A and B are shown apart, each in its own frame.
Chain A
Amino acid sequence: MIENRLQWCIGGAQGSGVDTSANIFSRACAEGGLWVAGKREYFSNIKGEHSYFVVRVDSKEVHALHDAIDMLATFDDETVARHFDEVVKGGALIYDSALVNKKIEDIPTLERRIREELAKRFPSSPPTIGTLIESCRSRGVHVCAVNYSSLLNVISSKTGEKRMSVLGRMVNVIAVAVSFALLKYDIADLKSSIDRIFGGKKNVAAMNGTAAEVAYEYVKGNFHEEIDCRLMKVPRGKGKRMLLNGNQAVALGKVAGGLRFQTYYPITPAADESTYLERYERFPMKGKDGARGSIVVLQTEDEIAAVTMAIGGALAGVRTATCTSGPGFSLMAEGIGWAGINEVPVVITNYQRAGPSTGMPTRHEQGDLKFSMYGGHGDFPRMVICSADMQECFYDANHAFNYAERYQMPVIHLIDKALANSTESVPYFDPSGMNIDRGLFMGDGTPFVLKEGEEYARFKFTENGISPRIPVGTPGAVFWNTGDEHTEIGHITEDPVLRNMMMEKRMGKLDLALKEIPADEQYHYFGDDKPDLLVVSWGSTKGAILEAVDGLRKEGKKIGFLQMRLILPFPAEKVREFAGRAGKIAVMEMNYVGQLADVIAEYTGIMAEFRVVKYNGRPITVDEARSSLRSILEGRSEKRVVLTHGA
């Protein structure tokens, strides 16, 4: 019997409440003191295509998923067809008993590849949902038939609700409740989760509560097998926790970090950040009763306007940001170059998704590393940082602003779809751990006085290349910016000597940044000091790699994990140092070519022996990370490993 360690999956057509059910499930677990990590997978579609949500539950904090599903909750045919093979022996599959005769070939949204594979695998007659259920049962999966329509009838008679359109929405709560009943979880926690989620709508909450009771009763009376997992309440400890996704973590970090103007053009999976900010555009100020700060969130006509408008805001002295994903980021390249040559602090949050072009808009990839570093014409300074978990998303949002203002350059904050659409229970963030560092900005109460007859030079040459910066509208001062090469004053020049000085001033700031930024903000290192294998990665792969490395170390393997947080300027010396102490080097990342591996080679001359990559749009799991690293350690690995798990 496995207690409080479980991976649960629910699926269904987009628009049928899969998200809500996963939310109810996750909250109910969290109510009982358990930790959850979930990921949402969906098509670029509004209604009808298959979406699913995997939630991992544990008694300790979790930040990644496994391959296998312990319990699959379904209320449609397609979810069975796509996921039945993932359920482990001893686990459970919940299905609608009315669908057993449904032929796989009659599921229109199922890819032809999958239909053909199933037809080949079950050749005797056209396979049905029943065939797949039988296949699960025969390999030791507990199958739990639920007659949804008869349960809906019971709910109808208990609540007096007769409308099928209303009752029909209850199936996903039934699926959740059946899951919890099988797991012997306290219905009180489920009901309190339901109340919280439908808080505003008392009737809906009550009806869903009844549905939960009916489902529990049903399982009690009809299902007598013992499944291998149990969920139960654990003591909660003191710290407060929240359940949130990456979009929200970044947004909260931005609000605390001083964002006051955000521009965006709608794009998946970035837009949720902006709409979240918009909802909270007026926020309370610390220590001032009732006083409110505010953020203007502006939806632009395109991403070119988004980045240039954000730059305009930064020129007015505001911490501004825009947030986007690959296609929008591509459009921003020219604007970012302008911000580079004009030394404008602006933050671009890029939620990477599977490219190229439209690619797979709702799927995961880390494919924009090199574009973030090199996109745009000419050489100009910019910084690229990347966050790997919810905490980093939050604090890095402020780091991005600090770097931008301190070094007066655009900062690209790389997040990805896996973080954007992952939901995790995490401890509350601590905004007092943030410092607001505006560098040589003279517009935030800092006295700024020009001597009589003195002309303000926006691009004044200084020892370290940073010139005092004032916002537009500073009394007594005017200044000029131009995308042309310019003088200290900001007027156009094509003078070859000045050109060199300006290029050196601007680009030199990158060296300064590398010197000044604390090591902890440049990289994290975990594991053995002199590892046989050094794994290098960046971004959201962290959760899976950390857990894999932990597991391998427990087996006695000597392994270390270098998580890059600062990509530009690139901490080449540090990487060289870690590499020097290690045996083999493997770079693991979510793109085709191994972009970080290339960057390491470029900056350090070190060619990593192994590139472990994944580009099927689904995040790397703990199992994949562990088995690929184990193979390398045991000398059984190819130089290039392509990971492929995921539905």
Chain B
Amino acid sequence: MALKLTDYRTEVHNDWCPGCGDFGILSAVQMALAETKLNLSDTVVVSGIGCSGKTPHYVNVTGIHTLHGRPLPFATGIKISNPGLNVVVVGGDGDGMGIGAGHFVAAGRRNVDMVYIIYDNGVYGLTKGQASPTLKLGTKTKGLIFPNMTSNINPLILAMACGYTFVARGYSFNVQHLKSIIKAAIDHRGTAFVDVLQPCPTYNDINSKEWYNGEDRSAENNGRPLPRVYTLESKGYDPNVNTDAGRDAETVMLDAFKYASEWGDSIPIGVFYRNEEIPTYGDRILERIPEYSALPPAKQRIGNGNRKPVADIEGYMDELSV
């Protein structure tokens, strides 16, 4: 029986604030899963803590709602143990680049074949709007008593520096575009990082939906909003590393850095960098353990019919024999 979009939804009441950008991400994830026809049982959504952390409960695939900052290592453990699973990790910007920053870096270096989506709204929503790692220095959102005293991280540039092999940005109010990015991320072999600009209607009154849509710039555009967000595709941008064709990683990355540095009145979304020339962590294990594809940890039997160990350690004891 073919799976429909509704098969990817649960009955759980969604308690995000009305107007929250998270809804667009959730829809895009569900649509992307449905369109790539990922089997419900073989797919797992792993989340951190915060509003974004509730995502798995709304998606009808196996959902692992983990700890603040730790969805990446949980997901890595799942995927390494059973590489046949489709793993999608979701988390907030504070989760991924604040408390979980160490894992963010390490995940880029490993390149495990999975998707990592960050819900990027510049604030810690569930704790009433404190500044998150992506909020610009000096910004005073309404939840802050004083302007933000800490400089922001550029998630895209950080991701490229860490070795992520797929780096993209979407906008939660452009669901169709975001869906296509997530589909590309699922198709990518390696860790695909998707930063999603996601206005928090309750606590971030600066980077709001109206701001992204450029409603404050109508004077420059004959009374019509002048959107800040534009797609890389519209510029004919090519994110793909193809060393044989003369576009090596360094060349693409330098282009990508330039676009990723844009902010303010023009904010690009789309795929910035895609490099399938780097082996995944699974490939690297396979080099050492040729049996890994056929018999990864989750597919090995550990006991025989009599519940006795199947591993033969006699030879190891012989090495230690005296």
Contacts and interface: CB of A to CB of B under 8 A. Distances in A.
Contacts, number: 245
B62 A436 contact: no
Contacts of B291: 282, 292-294
Nearest to A261: B297
Contacts of A306: 73
A142 interface: no
A39 interface: no
Tell me if A's interface is mostly helix, strand, loop or mixed.
Answer: mixed
Nearest to B57: A491
B309 A256 contact: yes
A25 B245 CA distance: 62
B65 A428 contact: no
Contacts of A293: 291, 295, 300, 310-311
B290 to A, nearest CB: 8
Interface in B23-73: 40-42, 44, 46, 49, 54, 56-57, 60-67, 70, 72-73
Contacts of A431: 308-309, 311, 313
Given A242-B322, A318-B298, A304 B70 contact: yes
B317 A476 contact: no
A460 B303 CA distance: 27
B237 to A, nearest CB: 32
B316 interface: yes
Nearest to A279: B316
How large, as a class, is the contact surface on chain B?
35 or more
A296 B304 CA distance: 21
B289 interface: yes
A43 interface: no
B85 A472 contact: yes
Contact of A317 (B42, B81, B317): B81
B316 A280 contact: yes
Contact of A243 (B76, B82, B322): B322
B297 A313 contact: yes
A263 B311 contact: no
A434 B309 contact: yes
Interface stretch (A222-230, A413-421, A480-488): A480-488
Given A317-B81, A320-B81, A258 B302 contact: yes
B313 A444 contact: no
Contacts of A477: 41
B84 to A, nearest CB: 7
A445 B301 CA distance: 8
Contacts of B297: 260-261, 294-296, 313, 316, 318, 320
B78 A315 contact: yes
Interface range for A = 35 or more
Contact of B63 (A27, A280, A480): A480
Contacts of B311: 255-256, 258, 283-286, 293, 431
A600 interface: no
Contacts of B258: none
Contact of A260 (B12, B44, B302, B321): B302
Contacts of A244: 320
A638 interface: no
Nearest to B288: A281
B106 interface: yes
B102 interface: yes
7 contacts: A255-B316, A308-B74, A309-B74, A311-B74, A316-B298, A335-B67, A482-B64
| Closest CB pairs A-B (n = 10) | A312-B77, A258-B302, A436-B303, A30-B322, A316-B81, A482-B65, A309-B77, A301-B106, A260-B297, A305-B73
Interface of A: 26-27, 30-31, 240-244, 248, 252, 255-258, 260-261, 263, 280-286, 292-296, 298, 300-302, 304-306, 308-320, 334-335, 338, 398, 425, 428-429, 431-432, 434-438, 443-445, 471-484, 490-492
